[in-house]
Copies of this chain bind each other. A is one copy, B any other.
Amino acid sequence: MQSQDAAELLISALSLHGSLSGGDETALRDTSFRLHRYARGSAIARAHTSPHESCFVISGLASREIIMPRGARAFVGMYIRGDFVDLHAFLLDSLDHDVVALTEVVMAFVSHTDIGRLIASQTINRLLWRFIAVDAAIQRYWLASMARRKASDRLAHFLCEQYIRMRAQGLVSADGFDLPLSQALLGDVIGLSAVHMNRSIQTLRRTGLLKWEGNTVTISFPRLAELCGFEPSYLNLQRLATSGVDGTCRD
């Protein structure tokens, strides 16, 4: 994996949300990306720092976490291939959260000078801006889910979201996707204790909505979506022909 591959990945991630001109693509290919590999559990960015570059995920699973005053950590986001994780550093005084590698992760870094140069193109500007807006929409749905759904529905909703987002990146095959997280950690992500996470998983397993073998999760998407009322339009992936709740792919 090299800098050029990072450019191609970014181009394809941006293209999920809009059409880049030839000039835009050239500008992106002319940008240099610093690649860096992180071991599972290591910090990619730290709260209360002001990095001079921002990064997106090349491979692996990353998360955003807020460290609470008494030391507990709350997960506020989960990021896969193609996700720009901390564009915020470009805009805000300092980061309000940590970014952590949940698995082994490769990240691509772009300097803020380069971002400043890239957004001279209104198209790139809008698309990067849109990344933040989609990320915020997902956060809103997490918040609504946290406030209103009970444990098993929250899990179902999370899995549906993950499924659709991973599918958009071509990371789903036969309704199965990789989720190399322990139940305890996943419980942290959706705000459950390890024990109750386990029980919620079993609830879904018993009704055949979910299989979880090793690191691979296989879901019955339409039934899970129906169960928890998952409605994917907030992900803004319509260009991808995510045609409604049945999740069929036109290909």
Binding site for B on A (CB under 8 A): 48, 64, 66, 68-70, 72, 74-77, 87-88, 91-94, 96-97, 116, 119, 122, 125-126, 129-130, 132-137, 139-144, 146-149, 191, 228-229, 231, 233-234, 236, 238
Could you tell me if B74 and A148 are in contact, using CB atoms closer than 8 angstroms? yes
The residues of B that contact A94 with a CB separation of less than 8 Å are: 233
Q: How far is the CA of A140 from the CA of B47 in the complex (A)?
A: 13
Q: How far is A75 from B146 in the complex, measured between Cα atoms in Å?
A: 11
Q: Report B-chain residues with C-beta under 8 Å of the C-beta of A119.
A: 122, 125
| Contact A76:B134 (CB < 8 A) given known A68-B229, A191-B148 | no
B136 touches A236 (CB 8 A): no
Instruction: Count copies of this chain in the complex.
Output: 2
Is the pair B143, A143 in contact by a Cβ cutoff of 8 Å? yes
Check if B66 sits within 8 Å of A133, measured CB to CB: no
Known: A129-B132, A141-B96, A142-B143. A72 touches B233 (CB 8 A): no
Partner among B143, B149, B233 whose Cβ is within 8 Å of the Cβ of A93:
B233
How many whole Å from A165's CB to the nearest CB in chain B?
Answer: 15
Cβ-defined contact, B146 with A88, below 8 A: no
Known: A92-B134, A97-B140. 14 other contacts (CB 8 A): A48-B233, A68-B148, A68-B229, A69-B231, A72-B148, A74-B143, A74-B147, A75-B147, A77-B140, A92-B236, A119-B125, A132-B136, A142-B143, A146-B147
List residues of chain B with CB within 8 A of the CB of A228: 69
Contacts of A64 in B (CB 8 A): 140
With both chains docked as a complex, state the minimum distance between the C-beta of A160 and any C-beta of chain B, in angstroms.
Answer: 12
- With most chain B CB atoms within 10 A of its CB, the pick from A97, A136, A142 is A136
Question: Is the beta-carbon distance between B236 and A133 smaller than 8 angstroms?
Answer: no
Bound complex: CA A66 to CA B191 (Å): 20
Nearest Cβ distance between residue A39 and chain B, in whole angstroms?
25
CB distance from A33 to the nearest CB of B (A): 22
Task: Give complex CA distance A142, B147 in Å.
Answer: 10
Q: How far is the CA of A214 from the CA of B106 in the complex (A)?
A: 55
> Which residues of chain B are near A77, meaning CB under 8 Å?
140
| Smallest beta-carbon distance A52→chain B, Å | 15
Assembled-state Cα–Cα distance A87/B133 (Å): 9
Q: Is the CB of B134 within 8 A of A132?
A: no
A129, chain B: closest CB distance, angstroms: 5
For A229, give its contact among B70, B147, B231 (CB under 8 Å): B70
